[in-house]
Amino acid sequence: MTAVSAVIFAVLLVHANRTLAAGGWEATGRLLVACIAAAVLYIIAHLMRAFRLAVIAMPLLGASFRTVVLLHLFVAPWSLILPLKTDELIRLGELARTAKSWSRPIIVLLIDRSMDGVVLIGMALLLLAEGGWNVAAPVAVLGTCLSLLVLAFFLLPVLLEQVQRHIFVNHYQDRALHVLALVSKARGMLDISRRTISAAPAFLILATLGIWSMELVAIAAILMAIDPGMLSLHGVVEVTLGRADASWRIMLLGEQPSPAITLATFVFFDALLLVWLWVPLPYGKRQAGEPQRVRLPAAAGIVLTGPGKV
């Protein structure tokens, strides 16, 4: 699968470079510096995403910090290729392979994506203030859903506890035991999720702000080089959201919605691919030698690793 991925990435890289060469870009020193700066900033943003994922995944999956960081970088290029965030299925598969479980990786990804909710709501409000309702409405809905998901991690365990008590007091059939077991498992997962968020709220908030700040500044660098007229907070946010929505159509279908979005997509793909080239070998070794970790009781929320493991 790694070899197949490498072939796909190489083909798309050639396609991207041909599109850039045929796009009539004026190869100035200013544009080159802007592209390099944007690429570095985008790599930093993805490193911060990898760190955030690791902080969330470590107590839930028992995986090591380095393994989760490499895992994120291993699947990162797909985020610019696959439509409708279906790249999350690849992340889910890799997390499930690491944890040898499917339920916990789903919780990890839900927590990870829910962290972006408030930022998306802020962007939607900014666009709405400037009259960009067509873009603001879906972004606001997505941001609200993700924010409610964070709230659910804190409220649902309390609700499920009341459900458990009701079943225990009022139902005596055999199937009530099975329902209690399912409710108990769901409540346990939500409790771990809540503790994961509560254990490092400052880091999760700062990492999320850092991720989006790096991407916004990267877009601003590209706009400064090719379209200074759009260099405003509203313009940068609009291009950032447009790029997130259009990247797969640019890479797979050859669409070019705007020069800024097109160039940003190609620059970001080149940056992720450059990092990806160094990841498969160490990631494969980490996966092969990932130690079996022993989880303490759930109340402790601690994961033990073998000697010398991080």
Q: Give 129-173 as a DSSP string.
A: HTT-HHHHHHHHHHHHHHHHHHHHHHHHHHHHHHHHHHHHHH--S
- Asked if residue 265 lies in contact with residue 26, where contact means CB atoms within 8 angstroms, the answer is no
User: What pLDDT does residue 220 have?
Assistant: 95
Cα 107 to Cα 84, 103, 126, distances in angstroms? 19, 7, 30
Query: What pLDDT, on a 0 to 100 scale, did the predictor assign at position 135?
Result: 75
pTM reported for the whole predicted model: 0.87
**Cα separation of 28 and 23, whole Å?**
14
From residue 220, give the alpha-carbon distance in Å to each of 54, 86, 96, 229, 251. 28, 27, 37, 11, 21
Show the DSSP H helices in 62-86 as ranges.
Answer: 65-75
pLDDT averaged over 10-residue windows placed end to end, the chain, 310 residues? 88 80 68 92 97 92 92 95 91 91 90 94 88 80 92 88 79 76 82 87 95 96 85 90 91 87 92 94 85 44 42
Contact 265, 251 (CB under 8 A): yes
For residue 308, the 8-state DSSP code is T
Looking at residue 299, what is its pLDDT? 35
Q: What is the DSSP letter of 22?
A: T
d(CA 35, CA 12): 18
pLDDT for res 25: 65
